Structure 1
């Protein structure tokens, strides 16, 4: 997983809790602060250990933490990839184009990057399905990111996000609808 995600996880923990929580989390996961550089790629196992320990520390499930972190990630990712975005897009448009814009760029930057494959089927102007496919089994992170995109586009109160399969499978189907 790309180091930027770990850098953002550190900031998330520090803003939601405090710096000492991040230090305790690293210690519990058997990692150190020097383990992460935003330009490098790290084993997925590091993220699993951090989220697992965070779940133990907070009493939240790993899926809940993934969703909250996914929502938190969106503004930074949108800023990083703003040159790839059409200013006229809405939440559903962004979701429809994520694979061929942002994910393509991520894969091009580092051959070892492996973001999930998102296959999006647009059912209507107001509804689509996202088929998330990844051996990482972090569909809950994707669900959180969809909610974060709705907030980013000021549509959070009008966008319904519904996982229609288990969020921790290799293949997760997410239904996204704009409400009238």
Structure 2
């Protein structure tokens, strides 16, 4: 997994809790260092250990933690890839173009980068269906990112996010509808 995600996870833990919580999380997770280089790629097992450790520490299910972290990621991700975005895009358009614009760039930057594959179908003018495919089994993170996009674009009240399969699976369907 890309080092940027680990860097943002560290910041998320430190802002939601504090630095000592991050240090304890590293300990509980069995990781020796929490200094992640945003230009490097790290084993997925590091993320699994951190999410599992956080779930044990907080008593919050791992899927719920992934969703919260996904929501938190959105402003930074949009900042990083802002030059690739069109100003008229909102939640549904961002979802439609994630694979062909942002994920394409991520894969080009480093061969080892492997963001999930998103097959997005426009079901209607106000609805998309996401087919999330990733061996990482972090569909809940994708659900959180979709919810974060709705908040970012001030559409949280109009966007309905419905995972239609288990969020911890390798293949997850996520239906996203705009109500108005």
Residue 111 of structure 1 is matched in structure 2 by: 111
CA RMSD after TM alignment: 0.8
Q: Report 1:28-39 matches (<5 A).
A: 28-33=28-33, 35-39=35-39
List structure 1 segments (4+ residues) > 2 angstroms apart after TM superposition. Answer: 32-35
Contact in 1 for aligned 2:26/2:34 (Cα 8 Å)? no
Q: Report 1:12-31 matches (<5 A).
A: 12-31=12-31
The 2-side partners of 1:97 and 1:26 are apart by 35
TM-score by length of 1: 0.98
Q: Are 2:106 and 1:120 equivalent residues in the alignment?
A: no
Q: Cα offset for 1:33?
A: 3.2
The 1-side partners of 2:109 and 2:138 are apart by 22
The 2-side partners of 1:11 and 1:141 are apart by 16
Residue 41 of structure 2 is matched in structure 1 by: 41
Residue 81 of structure 1 is matched in structure 2 by: 81
Residue 54 of structure 1 is matched in structure 2 by: 54
Residue 10 of structure 2 is matched in structure 1 by: 10
TM-score by length of 2: 0.98
Q: Cα offset for 1:34?
A: 5.0
Residue 150 of structure 1 is matched in structure 2 by: 150
The 2-side partners of 1:30 and 1:13 are apart by 17
Q: Are 2:72 and 1:72 equivalent residues in the alignment?
A: yes
Q: Cα offset for 1:38?
A: 1.0
The change in CA–CA distance for 1:163 and 1:34 in structure 2 (over 3 A counts) is closer
Residue 92 of structure 1 is matched in structure 2 by: 92
Contact in 1 for aligned 2:116/2:132 (Cα 8 Å)? yes
Residue 140 of structure 1 is matched in structure 2 by: 140
For residue 161 of structure 2, give the secondary structure of its aligned residue in structure 1. strand
Q: Are 2:138 and 1:163 equivalent residues in the alignment?
A: no
The 1-side partners of 2:133 and 2:32 are apart by 30
Q: Which runs of 5+ in 1 are unaligned?
A: none
Give per-residue Cα distances to partners, 1:87-126, cap 9 Å, x unaligned. Answer: 0011100100000000000000000000000000001110
